[in-house]
Structure 1
């Protein structure tokens, strides 16, 4: 078991600049999870284009689109339901069927007011009567622009998938319905809009949105809050040191997916994997139940047991992020997770934000999350992290970003093949964080002191 006095760390963050005036919020979470309560207020899964109820591999039932209770606003009555010519490699439901149109169409969902997850499922494939058309389109949810001039093919290739999900968070105000509108990009010949599945799930109001102040890194005001009029787009959700956690195993039926961190770990020598499925998980508040499933807190990655080695490297993860430039700034010169939480084994939240602005011709860069010990404060040389989430925040109700570039498809050569042990750090600016954990980006950082 790890000594509970190993608690001090310095958190370094970054100022981030991008072609969109957006913000990243670092939602830094220190939590110990356990049995979670059920949260089932709005839980909608619509299999778009389907004429009958669909059953996914995870056991969830997806409602039929044809004659569904969700009124479809289609002024020209031009949208069609269809099926993909080629079956996806991942789950057929909801990817195999589709609703698509060369004209605008809208789904109207009667939901309770409050904050919601919206997940849009896309499978870029050939569809009858649309095989030679171009899918460039926008998506709006009430007043929020989620996607603009969006092309699914490069996004799928960038993610290394055939079918993929785009996840958003937004607030539905009292008396509102949730209208999700798909519209082809104007001026693009033969453009059309499509969607394979729509999922809507409720979340606790204060899971990501809070009136409590948090540090705004690099700002003279240095205090901010995340209000419910801001929309969020998920960039990454990671189970550090553990395996993929499927949506049905998420806490409180919010159906979040948690990916392994193996792909993103760039510096990890020797990097110790920690596992403890017998730990007693405790909470100080109800909101702590919803931060992450038990599996996230039962696994972790630390720096290892070699004090000398640990003091000479940063345990680092790199996350590719839309059009950014990173310059290191310190968010916390000293962080004491035990003092924050009031004792070992109790949850605490720490939030940080940075701003994205234009910076020359900078293209895709990386957000780096690095952990480094501060032995002069604690006498120990280690760091630990259980999980993290990175979100992009809207500005002026807009979350849209440019489509990713499609890299050329060339066979690997001896000169270009990367080592398999860790990712290359070439041309990456690291955001260092010193011990216990550090985060860059609207991260939900999750810590559990084993």
Structure 2
């Protein structure tokens, strides 16, 4: 026992000595650092460090030319470096900074820029190149353009958008006894620099062998390549300032501005007993990074395939090293939390277990990956999500920090930015732009005058033709902008007059007046409301000829509703099919946007499966409803030139008419399919939890197979008659698709079938039905069937069931009279159910009355 204690003491002592050695090495590195205040010969203190003027004596720094010293008395920002940024060095010719007495090794080089006006220089027009020991860092660099680009990006992501300065950070190899940083303005322009940092890097900051995404480990030869630090995030925590990262004075941003959906991950904190998994990791990141983390929100409710996602703007045609920082803050054992890591929509690691990799709980650990961004893309996606195939106890993922580094290629880190500054470099270009501006101005005046004249004439005609309304300025997008909708409603050849107005000779149908809509809905009587969604309300009404209709009235305050309305008009103007809900007409008077649809007497398919006291649908009726919906979707996918993807297939968007014929409805999220030379449509993720294709969610690449996946969920919902997401159930039953797939893989789907169907379905038909649903839910879209194939198999399932029913009837010696009595009894029960159903106006509608399960990712 004593020997074990002594051994631990010796080990502890050695570990202490190693830690002391590392910190001594850090201290020596700091003593060899340069912190340069450009544009002055005086020194100052900023952010806890002493910054020496670039013309101060005894600094081991020389300038090729004094250039221009510039200064300002005030700055607009609130940076810790404000005092440092009040001076700068401007140059119109090449300028070199030579640092002498630098040992061989790697160095962090930070260049600080804060544009302020000086004399005749317009900093917005500055453009210059920078190189270090022959390695090109930037080309045609415009500081103001990059700051504006970054601010717009952060503002669009809900982040801070008031930055007035910029720091470019590089990690550069120095093989000679010195470092030369060269600044070269573009011809006719100038450049400037506010401050510089040169800090030695401990050799253990990077390892040369790194896991390549989608392949084996590769050797990066980092000792001979330059590296640019693109992003550095403290995931799940507050910003960490440079003064809080004393090793290398790095700043760690908050991650929310880069997340696709910030509330997809919730924050957790633990600041006790966190240590590094390896003493060599002590300079990789401060412990503050590992004291916070982000885990998946509602991980026991959402599908296992939903991920936490971060998106970054990067430069195309470069290799990127992605460093992920982890620390298990909750679980005490291995395999309690395992997950997958995706980089650019490819699996970088699966079955990843932080506890096992780091060697325990509260152990700070990092993992590096390298991937190439091709010349066709300028974004980098990083996603973490549960591994559905793993056996971990928790469907979750965790991340504490994230860094993205760009690696040099062929001695170059430079990339000409996408922004184009407004600056001009010569009188010739100014003269050219002047004449272009004059020409454009004249053309604009002519164009505006023509448009105004056209609009005035159009409005005059509208006033003459509208007898019961005054001129009103609509907040809606005018319907005549849609090529498929014509505005001609008066005395057009082929049009017919009605009591309330006229019928336009278009595919959209009748243009209703607002007074006609009010009459049809009893002035929008609330008792006639049959559905409510994000767009507004749906009323039951009757047209002037007594035809029942569903009248969808948009809420002008709903931007999402307006967008969906426009999409629905566009789609329905192209579509006509027995299994698609058709539009009778529309109204766009007095700031209203109203669509009128055929009335579906039996409401949504979901209301006949669960959640109401309606009589249950028979197995045959359920099959027929699925076949009808499949026919409608098959028509969408194949009826148009490029096909149409519904994007929101669910049982509340499958409606039943008075004869229980199923029709697809609600095309507000629909998208035109990809062109012939494309395989998918790149778009933001929209849909409903429980039905969403996980491949579409991960890649933001929409295909017709995304509808197939959603339809597979519908098929299981039809069998089990329960909600697709029910958080009140036991954990393994919350998600219908996963729960049903477990039983289907065991070929035991009858175990979870709707109890009301027991004894009234063909076992063989149920078996085939389950196989179809299983194929629809395949993980990869390319392995799923088309809707045409699904339709064919469903029709075969119906034939199996009908053959079984005939055989069952024959085997049980049903007489014709008994069979007739049974049919009559079922018809009476169904009629009673329909009567009860029609008395409950809020349980049916043209759209999903429960819009809380819909979400959007942008």
TM-score normalised over the length of structure 1: 0.74
**Partner of 1:216 in structure 2?**
212
User: How many Å separate the matches in 2 of 1:370 and 1:392?
Assistant: 19
In the alignment, the residues of structure 1 paired with residue 120 and residue 55 of structure 2 have an alpha-carbon distance, to the nearest angstrom, of 19
TM-score, normalized by length of structure 2?
Answer: 0.40
| 1:305 Cα deviation after fit | 5.1
Partner of 1:112: 103
- The residue number in structure 1 matching 2:85 is 95
Q: Name the SS for the 2:260 alignment partner.
A: strand
C-alpha separation in 2, matches of 1:150 and 1:430: 36
Alignment equivalent of 1:301, drawn from 289, 294, 300: 294
2:37 aligned to 28, 42, 47, which one?
47
Question: 1:162 aligns to what SS in structure 2?
Answer: coil
Are residue 367 (structure 1) and residue 400 (structure 2) matched? Answer: no
More strand by share: 1
Match of 2:275, SS? coil
Which protein is bigger by CA-based radius of gyration?
A: 2
Other-structure match for 2:312: 319
Map of 2:280 onto structure 1: 287
Verify the 8 A CA contact 1:85 1:127 in the aligned structure 2: no
The alpha carbon displacement at 1:218 in A equals 4.3
1:15-164 to 2 correspondences below 5 Å: 37=23, 39-40=26-27, 41=29, 42-56=32-46, 58-68=47-57, 69-74=59-64, 77=65, 79-84=67-72, 87-89=75-77, 90=79, 91-110=81-100, 111-131=102-122, 134-160=125-151, 161-164=163-166
Query: Deviation of residue 427 (structure 1)?
Result: 5.2
Equivalent residue number for residue 435 of structure 1: none
Q: Which residue of 1 aligns with 2:775?
A: none
* SS of structure 2 residue aligned to 1:51: coil
- Matched with 1:248 is 243
- Is contact 1:315–1:372 with CA below 8 Å preserved after alignment? yes
SS of the residue 1:118 aligns to: strand
How far is the alpha carbon of 1:346 from its aligned partner?
Answer: 3.7
Per the alignment, residue 230 of structure 1 pairs with 225
User: 1:45, 1:197 within 8 Å by CA — same for their partners in 2?
Assistant: yes
For residues 328-364 of structure 1, give each alpha carbon's deviation from its aligned partner in whole angstroms, at most 9, with x where no partner exists: 32222332333333433445443221123322xx5x4
Does residue 380 (structure 1) correspond to residue 394 (structure 2)? The answer is yes
**1:393/1:270 Cα in 2 relative to 1: closer, same or farther (>3 Å)?**
closer
Partner of 2:743: none
Alignment root-mean-square deviation, CA: 3.1
Q: Residue 138 of structure 2 contacts residue 413 of structure 2 at CA under 8 Å; is this kept in 1?
A: yes
Structure 2 residue aligned with 1:275: 269
Q: Which deviates more from structure 2 when the two are superposed, residues 396-405 or residues 81-90?
A: 81-90
Q: Which runs of no fewer than 5 residues in structure 2 stay unpaired?
A: 1-18, 152-162, 319-342, 423-556, 561-681, 686-695, 700-858
Per-residue Cα deviation, 1:225-259 (whole angstroms, up to 9, x for no partner): 3421111111110001111111011042x100001
- The offset of 1:132, in angstroms, is 7.8
Paired with 2:403 and 2:51, the residues of 1 have a C-alpha distance of 27
Paired position in structure 1 for 2:596: none
Whether the aligned pair in 1 keeps the contact of 2:274 and 2:291 (CA below 8 Å) is no
Q: Distance in 1 between matches of 2:123 and 2:115?
A: 12
Q: Is the contact between residue 266 and residue 318 of structure 1 (CA under 8 Å) also seen in structure 2?
A: yes
Partner of 2:756: none
Alignment deviations for residues 92-143 of structure 1 (CA, whole Å, 9 cap, x no partner): 2321111111111111112222111100001122112424894211111112
CA contact (8 A) 1:78 1:102 kept: no
Tell me, yes or no, if the aligned pair for 2:172 and 2:226 is still in contact at 8 Å: yes
Contact 2:275 2:287 in 1 (8 A): no
2:167 is matched with 165
If asked which structure has higher relative contact order (CA below 8 Å, sep 6+), I would say: 1
Per the alignment, do residues 304 and 145 of structure 1 end up closer, same or farther by CA in structure 2, a change over 3 Å counting?
A: same
Counterpart-to-counterpart distance in 1, 2:227 and 2:300: 39
**Paired residue secondary structure (1:107):** strand
2:43–2:51 Cα contact (<8 Å) kept: yes
**In structure 2, what is the Cα distance between the partners aligned to 1:268 and 1:126?**
37
* Structure 2 residue 204 is matched with structure 1 residue 206: yes
CA distance in 1, matches of 2:123, 2:222: 43
Q: Is the contact made by 2:113 and 2:143 (CA closer than 8 Å) also made in structure 1?
A: yes
The DSSP-based 3-state class of the residue aligned with 2:403 is strand
Q: Return 300-309 or 92-101, whichever deviates more.
A: 300-309
Asked if 1 retains the 8 angstrom alpha-carbon contact of 2:264 and 2:307, the reply is no
Q: Tell me how far apart the structure 2 counterparts of residues 349 and 294 of structure 1 sit (CA, whole Å).
A: 12
